Structure 1
Amino acid sequence: MITEKILVVDDESTICDSVKKILSRKGFEVENSLNATDAIEKMKEKKFDILITDLMMPEISGMELIELVKKYYPEIDVLVITGYATIDSAVHATKLGALDYLQKPFTPTELTDRIQKAVELRKSRKKEEEERERDSKMAKEVIDVDMPFVIEEIEKATSSDFVNRLTRSDIPLSKKYSVTIQCAKGNRECKIFTRTRIECKGECIEIKKEKKALLKKGMGLQKNEGLIDVDMPFNITEVESEIGSDYLDCMDRSDYPRAALYGKNAEVRKCVLVVDDEPIVCHSVRRILSRQNFTVEEAFDVDVAQQKIKNNKYDLIFLDLKMPKKDGMNILVSIKENYPGTPVIMITGYGTIDKAIEATRLGAFQFIPKPFSPEELKEIALEAIS
C-alpha cells in the first residue's frame, strides 16, 4: 500500500495539476503549492515524504527551497523538475541534497519511474535503520560479544549483582603498575636496582647517561649557534642582511626535506594532478593553473595516474571521464575511498546531466564539460582548494 505524501512546488499551475493527476492515479497523496513560501508553510503544518520542486520561481528559488528543506526537514527526499536544465544546476542541486533531477517536458512514465525509485530508496533506508536498531537492541540485551547470553535470563538464574560483576570487553582491566625501588646511590627510583638489588659501582649509570646527553646537546648548540647548518657554516644574520629572509628560507638544510622549505614565508603552492589521455588537455590545464601559483603534474595513462596518487599527496585532481583501460567513474570511486579529503573535478567532452549527477553522488567536487575557458578552470580550481 502506498503511503507516501508528495508536495509539488511550481509557479505554473498547469504543471502542478498535471503532476498531481499523474501521481494521484498511482495512489499517492499529492498537494500543490505555487510558490516556495506557501510550500514552507504547508511543511510546517503537515508531514511530507517527497518534495517535487521547480528551480526557476519568483522570490524564493528552487535551489534556496532545497537548502531550507535539507536544513529543517532532512527526512524529505527532493526531486527537481526544470525547463532550464544545465549541468551546473544539476550538480548544484545534487550537492544541496536533491535525490533526482528531471528535465521538462517529461512523460508520465518518466515521472512515475523517478518517484517509484525514490520510494524504493526510502524503503531501503528504513529497512537499514530498523536492522541497525534491532542489532543495537540485541547488543544491549546480551552481556557481551564473548558472553552472548541474555541478561534477563542470567539474572533469573543468578542475580542482578552477579551479572553486574561480570567483566565486559568495553570495561578496561585494572592497570598493572610497575614497581621500582629507591636506589641510595643515585638517589632515585631505579629499574636496574629493582631488578638486581645491586647498586652501581662508581657513578650511577642513569646519572652518567643524563650527563652525556646534556653535554652532547650543549656542544651541538654551541657548535651550530647562529649558523645556517653544519654544511653551510655562514652566520644567519649576515646572510639575511645581504639577500633577505625569503632566499634564506629556501636554502636546503640537512634536517629539513627540501620540499618543505619551498616558499616557507610565501604563499604555499598547491599541487594538482591532471589525468587525461589527451596530452593537449593536460598541457592546457597545466599552463592555465601554473600562472595561479599551482604546481601541476600530468598523467596520460590510468596506471601512471594511480601510481602517482599512491606515491604523492595532491591538493586537487582533474580527472577525465572517458579513459582507456578504466572508466573515469571507477577511478573516482577508488580515489574517494582511499583519499576522501582530496577534491576531484571531472572533465569530459561527453558531458550529460545524468553523468554529472552520478559523478557528484560518487563524490566529485565539480563536473566540467569540454571545452572550458581558462576563467572557468581557475575559478573552479580555487573554489575546490579553498
Structure 2
Amino acid sequence: MNPDLSTSSVTPIVSTEALSKRYRNNFVVNQANLKVMPGDVFGLLGPNGAGKTTIIRMMLGLVRPTSGRALLFGSDIATDRKRILAKTSAIVEAPSLYPHLSGWDNMKVMAYTAGVTDETRMRQALGQMGLSDRARDKFQTYSLGMKQRLCIAAALLTDPQLIILDEPTNGLDPAGIQSIRELIKSLAAQGRTVFLSSHLLNEVQQVCNRVAIIERGTIISQGLVEEMLASQNNIQLRVPAEDFEKAIETLQGLEYARSARPAGEYIVVDGAASRGAELNRTLAEAGIYPSEIIPRHLTLEEFFLSVTNRSVPPGAYPPPPGYGPVPYPAQQPYQGQAWGPPPGYPPPPPGYYPQPPMGGYSGQPGQPGLNGDFPGSPPPPEQSPVNGDSQKGPENHA
C-alpha cells in the first residue's frame, strides 16, 4: 500500500486500487494506489518514463490494466465508462487537432463530437482561455501554449467535474507556463477537481495541494504538499563549541522536535522550522546562547530528490550563508576552511564542492538550479572539447 491514503468518508473523485500494467516481463505501473478527493488539484510527479501517462490512460479506459482497477466517481471505469466520461474531460500527451482549420472550426468539431451545439457556450470557452482574438486563425499558426488552451477550452464545453491534464506545461515558454498555471488555479476556484501529471516540480508546488511521486512505476510517496514538506523542515543552530553536547541533550527532550543531531559545526533540529523563538528561549534558559538560527524549508524538488534517493546534480546545493555562488573549480583554499554543503544536507557527489579562491567569489549570489547555472557567476575556465562539444563548468557528477 502507498503512504498517506485518506481515511475520509467522502467518496474520492479518483481512486486506484493496486493498479498495475505489465508489458511482457516489465511492470511499467506496479500496484499504484492513488486517492484524489473532490476539489483537489492533484499532481502525479515523476521523471519521463516513470509511468504517469500509462496511469492516466488506465484511468480513462484507454489501456486495460494487467491487474487492479481504477474508480472514478466511485465507479469502475471498466464497467461504467460512459457515465464516468460524461463528467470527465482529459488532454493526454501533446494537443493534436486539424492544422488547416481555424481555432473556431476546431472548436466546433470537438463540440459536436461531444454533443454540444450551443455556439454561445463555445465562444465563452474561447474567451475564458483568452483566444477570442485568434479564433479565426489557423491552428497551425498557434503557439504551443495557445494549442494547449484551445484544447482545454474544448474540454470545458461539457462542464466536467474532473479535468485530467497530462504534462500541461511541457515545452512551453515561461509566459505559456504562467498562463497554464493561472488557468489551473481558476479551474480549482470554480470547484472542479484537477488531476495533472508533470515532471516540473516547481510548477506543481505552486498549483497542487496534493501530490503523489512515482518512480519506475511505483508510488513511493503521497499526501498533502504542505504536510509532506513540513515533515522534512528543520532548523540549523550554531552554538559555542563548549556547549555543543549540552545543547543537543537539551533539544532532544523537546516534544515538537523529532530529533536533534550534529551536522559539522551546526546542530540540526528536525520538524521545528517554525519554532526558532522557542528553541532560542529553551537554550537560553539552559545557559546556551546560539550565534545562528537558520530555518530550513524544503522545496518539493528537494523532497523529490530525497525520497527517490537520486544523486543531486551540480547546482542543487546553495553556497553557505555569506558566500557567493559556487559554480566553478578554484585553485586555492579559502583561509584553509573546509567547503561543503550547509548543515542538514545529504553528502554531495564526490568533488562537487571546490575550494573557493582567496577572498571568495565576486559573483552575486543567485538561485541555485539543477543545471548548475547561477546568475552573476564568473566565466568558466576554458576546457578542451569532448566529443565535439565544448564543456563548461564543473564536471557533472549527477
**TM-score normalized by structure 2?**
0.29
**TM-score normalized by structure 1?**
0.29
Work out which structure has the larger RCO, using CA pairs closer than 8 Å and 6 or more positions apart in sequence.
2
The answer to which structure has the higher helix fraction is: 1
